Structure 1
Amino acid sequence: MILRCYRPNRPTPCRWPTTPPINFIKNKLRPKRMKITPYSYVLALLGLGGFFQQCTSSESADKPHKKTTAEPTASAPAYQVGTVSRQRVSPSVQLPGQFRAYQEVSIYPRANGFVERVLVDRGSAVRRGQVLMILDAPETEERLVAARSNTLKAEVMLTASREHYRRLRASNKIPGSVSALDLETAQARLRSDSASVLGERANYRALTKLRDYLTVRAPFDGIITERNVHPGALVGSGAKMEGPMLVLQQQNRLRLVADIPETYSVGLREGSTVRFSVAAMPSREFTGKINRRSGSMNQQFRSETVEIDVANPTRTLRPGMFAELTLPTAGTPGALAVPTTAVVTSTERQYVIRVTDGRAQYVPVRRGQKAGPLTEVFGNLRADDRIIVNARDDIKEGIAVR
C-alpha cells in the first residue's frame, strides 16, 4: 500500500512506507544493540583485575613500612603469703526479731448464755480479777436451785439413816434383841445415803462454778486489744463463734522473739546482752538480755528460737513490731583464722593453698564464722602455717611459690 502526500511548493507526490509513520520513526531512532560474546566477558574481567592490582600496589607504596615487633610476655604472677593464726572470730550478727505480748489470752465463754453487759472495750486497761462481761443464763439458775434442794434432801436422808443405825447398834448390846440382818441392812443404807450426799454436793458445786462463769473476769493485768461481741449476742460452746469474745494482752512487759541460725547458736550464751533497734524509732537503741532458749533446732529453718524480756512500762513498744537485733558471738573454740581471700571455693571443694618447701599445696577446709577480713576454717592446718593470701583457683598444685 502506497500513501501519497503533497509537500508545499512541490507538486511531486511523496511516498510513505506501508508501516505507520510513528513506528517508522521509532525504528529509525532506536540504537543498535551490541552483540556480546563470552570472549568479551573474559577481557572485561582481566581488565578489572589489573586495575585493582595497580591501585593496591600504589597504596602500599604510599604508606610507610611499619616494623612488627613481638609482644612482651606476661610477667609471672605475684603471690602474697601470710600465716594461719589461732584466734576466735567474733562477728556481730544482725538478725530480725518480733515483739510479742508477755502474756496473751483469748477469752471464750465457758457457759451457754446471752451477753447481758460488756464493761470494757478495745484499748481498755484492766486489772486482775476485774469484771469484763456478764452473761445471762436463766436455766442455769434453775438447775442450781434444784441441785441445792436435792443436796438438802440427801443430807436429811443421811441423818435419818445414821440415827437408825446408831439405835440398832445400841439395841444389839442386848443379846437377841436385833437380828444381824437388820443391822447389816441399816449399815448399807447409811453408806448409800452418804454416797448420795457426796454426789448431790458435787453436782451443786459444779453448777455453782458454772454460774460463776457467767461473770467473765480478767486473769491478769493488761490491755483489751480485741472485742467481738455486744449485748444480746448468744455465746457458748454450742454457739457458732468466729472468734473470741475478748483478747487480753500484757504489754507492760514484752517478749522479743528471734531465730538464731545454727552457725551462731553454738556460741550464744544465756544472759548475754543484746542490742536492738526499732524501725519506728531509729534514733533510739534498746538493750536486753537473753532469758530463754528453746534448746532445739527448727527442722525447717535450722535455727534456734530465743526470747528476750523487754520492760515496757510506758507502752512505747507494741506487740507485733519488728526489731533488728545485734548479737555478739563468742566464736568457735579451737578454730583457726585465715584471711577471707585465702579460701578458694570451687564446684568440687573448698581449700586453702599452703606453702610447703616453696611449693603450693592444697589443704581442704570447712568455713566457720566470718568477721571483717577473717574467716574461721577447720582442716589439716596448724597455727603459723604459711598460706597464699590472694589465692585463686588457677593456681596449680605443686608450682613454685616465691
Structure 2
Amino acid sequence: MKKKLFPILAVLLIISSCGKKEQQAPPQGPVPFPVQTITTNDATVYQEYTANIEGQQNVEIRPKVNGFIQKIYVDEGQVVKKGQILFKLETQALNQDAAAAKAMVQAAQVEVDRLKPLVDRKIISTVQLETAKAKLAQAKSAYGSIAANIGYGTIYSPASGTIGSLPFKEGSLVSAANQEPLTTVSDTRIVRAYFSMNEKQLLLFNKTFKGANAAEKLKSVPEVSLLLVDGSEYDQKGKITTINGLVNAATGTTDFRAEFQNPQGILRSGSSGIVRLPIIQTNVILVPQNAVFEVQGKQIIYVVEKGNKVKSRIIETNGTSDLNFIVTSGLSEGEVVVVEGASKLKDDMEIVPQQAKSNISEKSAAAAIDSVKTNSTPAKK
C-alpha cells in the first residue's frame, strides 16, 4: 500500500511546483507609461506676501480736556456716522470757571462804557480808555477759551466707521495726556493690506513691470487676491496703490499697500492675510509636478529617447503654475517625458509610451493671455 502512494505523491508535487512557477513568472516585454510632449505655454506664477490689514481710516479718539467720563453713548463694534456723539465728560468745574470769566467780561465792559464819555468830553486821556478796551479783549479771550473747553467735553465722531475697544468706563478720569485713546473709529468700507518685499523680490518686481517710476509701474500691475486666515480666497480683487520710495536700511525691505473693497464687512482692521501677486511668464516650459522627483537635492525627470528607452535628466525649475513646474533648463520643446510612475523606471529601460492629458489648464492659460492683453493696452488719453 505504501509503495503505491509514493508515485502518486511525486506526481502531485511536480504538478504543484509547475503551477507555482507559472504564477511567479515575471511579465515579458516593455510596460506602458503615460508620457507628454514638451511644449511652451504662458504661465501664471503667484508671489505671496504676508500682509497686515487696516481700515482706510483709523482715527484715535482722545479727549482735549481733563474730566470724568459722564456718559458713553456707543458700544464696542457699533457702526457710527461722522458727527455722532460718542462721549460726554463732566465739566462742572469748567462751568464755574466760565461763570467767573463771564463776570470779568461784564466788569471790563462796564469800565469801557464808563470811560468812553469822559474821553469824548476830553476829561481824561484816550490812554485810559485803550487800556480798558485791552482788558475787555483779554477777558473775552479767557471766557472764549473756557467756553471752548466746555464744548470739548462733548466728543463727536470725526469719521464714519466701526467703534473699537472701550478701555475706559463711565466715571473714569481721563485727560489729553493718557497714552491710550478713549476708542478708535475704523472706516473699513475699503481696507488696506500692508506688505513688504525684500530687495530680491523688489528687483524682480521692477524688472517684470515696466515704467520709469512707481506710478507707471503700478498701472501695469494686475489685480491681486487676498488669502484669509482660514485659507480661503477673499471674493474681492484688490489693487496695489502705493510703493514706498525707499528701502528700509534696517530690514532691507520696501513697503507696499494694496486696497480691497469690503462691502460685506468681512475684513476687520487689525487682522492679517496673504496678498497674492500674479506674474505672467510667457513661452515657458511646463511639466507636471508628478513627473519630477528629487535625488540629493536635484530635480530629475525621465526623458523618452530613441527606441522608447528612458534616460534620467537633471532639470532646473523656477516656481510652480497650478500643478506644473516651470522648467528653466534641462528640457527642450518637442521632447517627450514620462509623467507618471517615475519610481519604477531605470535608465535605458524600454517602455510603451502612452500620450497623457496635459495638466496645463486651458482656462488658466486663457486668463493669463487675457491679463497680458489687458495690461498691455495703452491708456486712453
- Bin of the TM-score, shorter chain as denominator length: 0.5 to 0.7
CA shift for structure 1 position 211? 0.4
- Asked whether the 8 Å contact 1:277–1:286 carries over to 2, the reply is no
List aligned pairs for 1:151-190, cutoff 5 A.
151-168=105-122, 186-190=125-129
Q: Using the alignment, how far apart are the partners of 1:138 and 1:279 within structure 2?
A: 49
For residue 255 of structure 1, the aligned residue among 192, 197, 202 is: 192
1:115 and 1:227 map into 2 onto residues whose CA distance is 12
In the superposition, relative to structure 1, how do residues 212 and 286 fare at CA in structure 2: closer, same or farther (>3 Å)?
same
| Larger displacement relative to structure 2 (286-295 or 263-272) | 263-272
> One-letter code of the match for 1:113?
G
| Aligned position for 1:21 | none
The CA deviation at 1:99 is 0.7
Contact 1:226–1:248 at 8 Å: present in 2 too?
Answer: no
Counterpart for residue 247 of structure 2: 297
Alpha-carbon offset, residue 155 of structure 1: 2.6
Equivalent position SS for 1:104: strand
Which residue identity lines up with residue 293 of structure 1 in the other structure? I
Residue among 161, 177, 188 paired with 1:222:
161
Instruction: Tell me, yes or no, if structure 1 residue 198 matches structure 2 residue 198.
Output: no
Q: Relative to 1, partners in 2 of residues 1:284 and 1:233: Cα closer, same or farther, differing over 3 Å? A: closer
Q: Which fold has the larger relative contact order, with Cα–Cα distance below 8 Å and residues 6 or more apart in sequence?
A: 2
Unaligned runs of 5+ in 2: 1-42, 210-216, 285-317, 321-325, 330-381
Aligned amino acid, residue 155 of structure 2? V
Question: TM-score normalized by structure 1?
Answer: 0.52
Which of 265, 277, 299 is the aligned partner of 1:315? 265
Alignment correspondent of 2:291: none
Q: Give the C-alpha shift of residue 92 in structure 1.
A: 4.3
Aligned pairs for 1:3-402 (under 5 A) are 92-168=46-122, 186-237=125-176, 243-265=180-202, 267=206, 269-271=217-219, 272=221, 273-280=223-230, 282-328=232-278, 372-374=326-328
Instruction: Tell me, in whole angstroms, the C-alpha distance in 1 between the residues paired with 2:272 and 2:196.
Output: 13
Distance 1:161 1:289, change over 3 A: farther
SS of equivalent residue, structure 2 residue 159: coil
| Structure with the larger helix share | 2
Give the deviation of 1:305 after TM superposition: 0.9
State the shift of 1:229 in Å. 2.1
**Residue 98 of structure 1 contacts residue 320 of structure 1 at CA under 8 Å; is this kept in 2?**
yes
Residues 134-173 of structure 1: CA deviation (Å, up to 9, x unaligned) = 11131110001111111222233233334433332xxxxx
Q: Does structure 2 conserve the Cα–Cα contact (< 8 Å) formed by 1:96 and 1:322?
A: yes
**Distance change (3 Å), C-alpha of 1:200 and 1:374:** farther
The answer as to whether partners of 2:236 and 2:261 remain within 8 angstroms in 1 is no
Unaligned runs of 5+ in 1: 1-88, 169-177, 332-336, 338-368, 376-402
> Kindly tell me: are residues 283 and 91 of structure 1, through their superposed partners in 2, closer, same or farther at Cα, counting changes over 3 Å?
closer
- Which amino acid letter does the alignment assign opposite residue 152 of structure 2? Y
Q: Report the residue type matching 2:252 in the other structure.
A: R
Aligned residues: 237
Summarize the Cα distance change of 1:329–1:188 in structure 2 as closer, same or farther, 3 Å threshold: farther
% identity of equivalent residues: 20
Report the CA distance between 1:190 and its aligned residue: 2.6
What SS class does the counterpart of residue 310 from structure 1 fall into? strand
What letter matches 1:317 in structure 2? L
In 1, the alpha carbon distance for the partners of 2:328 and 2:101 equals 78
Looking at structure 2, the residues matched to 265 and 165 of structure 1 have their Cα atoms a distance apart, in angstroms, of: 78
Q: Which moved more, 1:275-284 or 1:130-139?
A: 275-284
The residue type paired with residue 180 of structure 2 is G
The offset of 1:322, in angstroms, is 2.1
User: In 2, Cα distance between the equivalents of 1:280 and 1:330?
Assistant: 27
Residue 112 (structure 1) shift: 1.9
1:246 and 1:326 map into 2 onto residues whose CA distance is: 32
What root-mean-square deviation, in Å, do the aligned CA atoms of Structure 1 and Structure 2 show? 3.3
Q: Partners of 1:107 and 1:315 in 2: how far apart?
A: 22
1:230/1:285 CA distance change after superposition, 3 Å: closer
TM-score by length of 2: 0.55
Match of 2:367 in 1: none
How far apart in 2 are the matches of 1:294 and 1:166?
68
Secondary structure class of the residue paired with 1:205: helix
Aligned counterparts of 1:164 and 1:319: Cα–Cα separation in 2? 68
- Determine helix, strand or coil for the equivalent of 1:102: strand
Question: How far apart, CA to CA, are the structure 1 residues paired with 2:85 and 2:160?
Answer: 12
